[in-house]
Structure formats: structure tokens, C-alpha cells
Amino acid sequence: MTLNVVNFTYLMLGVALHGRASRLVASAEEGMKLAGGVVLQFPFYAGIYGIIRGSGLTEVIGRAFAEAATARTYPLFVYWYSGLVNYFVPSGGSKWAIEAPYILAAGDLLQVAKPKIVLAYAWGDMLTDVIQPFWALPLLKAARLDFRHILGYAMLVFILYALLVSLAFWLA
């Protein structure tokens, strides 16, 4: 299920459910208000992605994490590393492109199974999402709040979540 399939389904479903074109257009315009913050901020995060990829910053940080890890703790370190980078590049797919070559190579040296690395990466990609404002923008727009209003609760969720999932990767 790619994004294109999802979008196409939504649009066709929207056409069918609204019945009238004018109503569909009106609600699409409403919906665009939700997407406004994302449109403005996306290029900035894409710029950060550009710097990180171009300069090789991920490898420098990745090496520090990989050197601290043993074969047993490697998934846990991948989890933290992926979480750290996620705060700067909060997109799961494009971040994979800049992180994966290094974490897979380092995982090979320690002989860690590939699926484990993928899962540790995936969970790490969520580790800092809850304290990262980007994906909350539509929600905050609809709620008419700013990120600072929910960050207090979000930080508490983040701490407990990081502990719980770290424990899982440490035990696994």
C-alpha cells in the first residue's frame, strides 16, 4: 500500500461520498488549511536532510554508536541512534536512505541479523516522534494549539516510551 494508492483511494472515495463537486471542492479547501504548516516546514527539514547526507554526519554519529555497542546491544544502539537522527529528519523513508548503508555494514561486522536491525531502526524512527513537532502540525492546526502546549505531556510519554522499548530491545 503506497502513498499514491492511499491518496487515490481517498480522493475517489471523497468524490463518491460527497456527490456534488462543489461540496468536494469546499471541503478540500478546508483540508488544505490543515496541510499548511507541513507545506511551509517540509523544505526546511529536507534541507537538514541534505546537510546530513551531503556532509556524512550520520556516519560520524553512527560510528560513535556502533563502537560503543556489542553484538548483543547493537539493536539497542541502533534504536537510540535512529531516534536521535529522527529528531532532525522526521521522515522514516528518506532517513532510512541515509542511515541504512552504515548501520547494516556495522551490523555485519558484529554479525547481527538483518531483520533485527530493520526493526530497531523502525522503532527508533518513532522514538523521538512524539516530541518532534513536524507530524503534529495538522493536529495542532485543527486543535488551535501550539506545540509548546502539548510538549509537557509529550515529554512524559517520551520518557516512559523510551524506557519501555529500550527494555524490549535490550531483552530481545
Partner 1 sequence: MDFLGRIALALTRWSERWVPSSFVIAILLTFLVFVLAIALTSATALQCVTFWGDGFWELLSFAMQMTLIMVSGYVVAASPPVDRALTRLARLPRGPRSCVMLMAFLSMALGMLHWGLSIVVSALMVRRFARHEPRVDYRLLVTAGYLGMGLTWHAGLSASAPLLVATPGHFLERQMGIVPLGQTIFSPFNLILAFIVLGVFTLLILSFTRVPDERSPSTQRSSWRRRHETETPSPATSPRARLGPPPPVRPGPRPPASPPGSTTGPPSAGSWARPGSCGSSSTSMATDGRQ
Beta carbon of residue 134, minimum distance to partner 1 (angstroms, whole number): 7
Q: Is 111 in the site for partner 1 (CB under 8 A)?
A: no
Name residues contacting partner 1, limited to 13-32 (CB under 8 A). Answer: 13-14, 17-18, 24, 27-28, 30-32
* Residue 109 makes contact with partner 1 by CB under 8 A: no
Contacts of 123 (CB under 8 A, 6+ apart): 79, 82, 165, 169
**Of 84, 110, 138, 166, the one binding partner 1 by CB under 8 A:** 138
Instruction: Give yes or no for residue 46 binding partner 1 (CB under 8 A).
Output: yes
* Binding flags for partner 1, 50-89, as an x/- string (CB under 8 A): xxxxxxxx--xx-------------------------xx-
Q: Please tell me whether residue 106 binds partner 1 under the rule CB under 8 A.
A: no
- Decide: 41 and 134 in contact? Cβ < 8 Å: yes
Nearest distance, CB of residue 70 and partner 1, angstroms: 19
Question: Which residue, among 65, 104, 111, has the nearest Cα to 85 in the 3D structure?
Answer: 65
Which is closer to partner 1, CB of 33 or CB of 70? 33
Identify the residue among 73, 84, 110, 118 touching partner 1 (CB under 8 A): 118
Q: Contact with partner 1 (CB under 8 A): which of 73, 84, 151, 166? A: 151
- The vertex-98 CA angle with 95 and 99, nearest 5°, equals 80
The sign of the dihedral angle between the CA atoms of 94, 130, 38, 19 is positive
Q: Which of 68, 71, 72, 135 binds partner 1 (CB under 8 A)?
A: 135
- Cβ contacts of 120 within 8 Å, gap of 6 or more: 74, 75, 76, 78, 79, 82, 169
Please identify which residue in 10, 71, 72, 163 interacts with partner 1, judged by CB under 8 A: 10
C-alpha 29/C-alpha 22 separation (Å) is 11
Q: Is 80 helix (H, G, I), strand (E, B) or coil?
A: helix
